Amino acid sequence: MPPHYLGKDESRNCCTSLPQQLYCTLCILESHIDRIIVKTFDDIVERRRIRRAKSLKLQELYLKSVNAIIPSSAGRSLEISSRSRSTLSSMRWSLIFYLFAAVAALLALDGTFALPAPRDGALTLDARAVTRSGRVTKPAYNLRKTAARAGAAAAKKQPVPKKKVSTKTPAKKAKVAQAIKAGNLKKSSGTYRKAAMKSPHMFSVKNGKVQRVKTPAKMVSGKFHADHILEAQTAAKALAGAGHTQKSLGKQKWDKVKNALNAPKNMAMLAGDVNTAKGRVCKAGLNGCTPKQADVKLAQGYMKATKSRGKETAAEIDKIVGGNTVQTKHNQILGKAGVKREVISEWEDLD
């Protein structure tokens, strides 16, 4: 039953939300308009009834005058026929007029104030009431979702990307973040190229044999590279393996390590292809792999000729930081390159 047909207390209790109160107000307004129209039509019918009564009185007076002239039997028949005709005519036209006006009014009201009828006692409204705090509250009743609405909701839903959970412990993360890299140990390229030009000889390989040429006074370029005899990647791997970081060594020790690695004693100008092969041999050895024979064949002669200088640099760095990790790692790389451990006097390879 619509709320406006209930009592005052029941109507207040049933209209708890704003859409329901609006619906109840429109229903009450529609009922009042219906009452006004019915009352107006009743007034019109009443007036027509009064007019008809007056006309009937005039007809009776006319019939009386006629009956006085014509016989009584004929007058009675004439009176009955005239009364029936006038009554039927007035009732017919009043009924047609009332029905036409009622249908027109109902059509106008239905198009203006009509609301969808409630289903199963629940309002199927999509509006949502907004509270003063700005939060959107869902109505107590369940909104019926059509197939199109359900499809649109499914299309809007997108898979939430899953965050990758790191399996590294805080200690591992700190170690990775602070690990020493080869690039950290090298100075600028201009600085260590000048140091390499201070070496007495520069090296190349021809037909598997090392060729030493006196280093010119002018900077060489093109096919010659500035090579760290003790590779920076070897020193970085050894220091990181021993648990050293730039922060743990401190600025003073760190600067000494960089100076020793980039000193002229540990630098030499080397042919580019030999330098590349030597770098690949060191990388393979540091990763526990066997280097390619072609790289070993190309770099072995140069590594033999400069091994004493590399060992002296590794010993100097170990003396700065403590221990012998750099020397051990450098000897492993020499072993991968097939360089035997031999005692060579200091700077013998430069004579």
What pLDDT digit, counting tens, does each position of 193-211 carry?
999 899 888 898 887 788 8
Which is more confident, 84 or 62?
62
Instruction: Return the pLDDT at 150.
Output: 57
Max Cα distance, the chain (Å): 173
Q: Cβ(266)–Cβ(315) under 8 Å?
A: no
Task: Write out pLDDT tens, residues 309-318.
Answer: 999 999 999 9
Joined tokens for residue 322:
């403590």
Instruction: Return the pLDDT at 227.
Output: 93
Q: Within 13 A of 91's CA, how many CA atoms are on the CB side?
A: 6
pLDDT interval class at 325 (50, 70, 90) = very high
Instruction: Return the pLDDT at 126.
Output: 46
Q: Where are the alpha helices (DSSP H) in the chain?
A: 8-14, 18-69, 72-113, 147-156, 170-177, 182-185, 189-197, 232-241, 246-261, 272-286, 293-305, 307-321, 325-336
Report the mean per-residue pLDDT for the chain: 75
Q: Cβ(147)–Cβ(68) under 8 Å?
A: no
DSSP 8-state symbol, 161: P
Phi, psi of 201 (to 5 degrees): -130, 155
pTM: 0.49
Instruction: Return the pLDDT at 159.
Output: 62
* Closest C-alpha to 306, from 275, 257, 350: 350
What mean pLDDT is predicted for residues 297-323? Answer: 92
Which is more confident, 146 or 338?
338
- Name 233's Cβ contacts closer than 8 Å, sequence gap at least 6: 182, 279, 282, 283, 286
Number of residues that this document lists for the chain: 351
pLDDT interval class at 170 (50, 70, 90) = low
pLDDT tops 90 at residue 149: no
Q: Cβ(333)–Cβ(285) under 8 Å?
A: yes
Instruction: Return the pLDDT at 128.
Output: 47
pLDDT interval class at 41 (50, 70, 90) = confident
pLDDT tops 60 at residue 18: yes
Instruction: Return the pLDDT at 84.
Output: 55
pLDDT interval class at 348 (50, 70, 90) = very low
Residue 90: what residue type? S
- Name 26's Cβ contacts closer than 8 Å, sequence gap at least 6: 113, 115
DSSP track, 75-134: HHHHHHHHHHHHHHHHHHHHHHHHHHHHHHHHHHHHHHH--PPPBTTB-------B-TTS
* Closest C-alpha to 307, from 324, 287, 331: 331
Task: Write out pLDDT tens, residues 79-124.
Answer: 555 555 566 566 666 677 777 777 777 776 655 544 555 554 444 4
Residue 253: what residue type? K
Q: Cβ(260)–Cβ(313) under 8 Å?
A: yes
Instruction: Return the pLDDT at 9.
Output: 47
- Name 345's Cβ contacts closer than 8 Å, sequence gap at least 6: 308
Q: Cβ(269)–Cβ(225) under 8 Å?
A: yes
Which is more confident, 182 or 172?
182
Task: Write out pLDDT tens, residues 126-143.
Answer: 444 444 444 545 554 444
- Name 128's Cβ contacts closer than 8 Å, sequence gap at least 6: 136, 137, 138, 139
Instruction: Return the pLDDT at 324.
Output: 92
Instruction: Return the pLDDT at 88.
Output: 56
Which is more confident, 289 or 162?
289
Q: Within 13 A of 133's CA, how many CA atoms are on the CB side?
A: 3
Instruction: Return the pLDDT at 283.
Output: 93
* Closest C-alpha to 336, from 228, 207, 234, 227: 234
Which is more confident, 330 or 105?
330
Which is more confident, 66 or 227?
227
Percent of the chain with pLDDT strictly greater than 70: 64
Joined tokens for residue 144:
């019926």
Instruction: Return the pLDDT at 151.
Output: 57
Give the SS3 label for residue 274.
helix
* Closest C-alpha to 19, from 148, 109, 150, 143: 143
Task: Write out pLDDT tens, residues 179-190.
Answer: 888 889 999 988
Instruction: Return the pLDDT at 101.
Output: 77
Percent of the chain with pLDDT strictly greater than 90: 27
Instruction: Return the pLDDT at 163.
Output: 62
Which is more confident, 12 or 162?
162
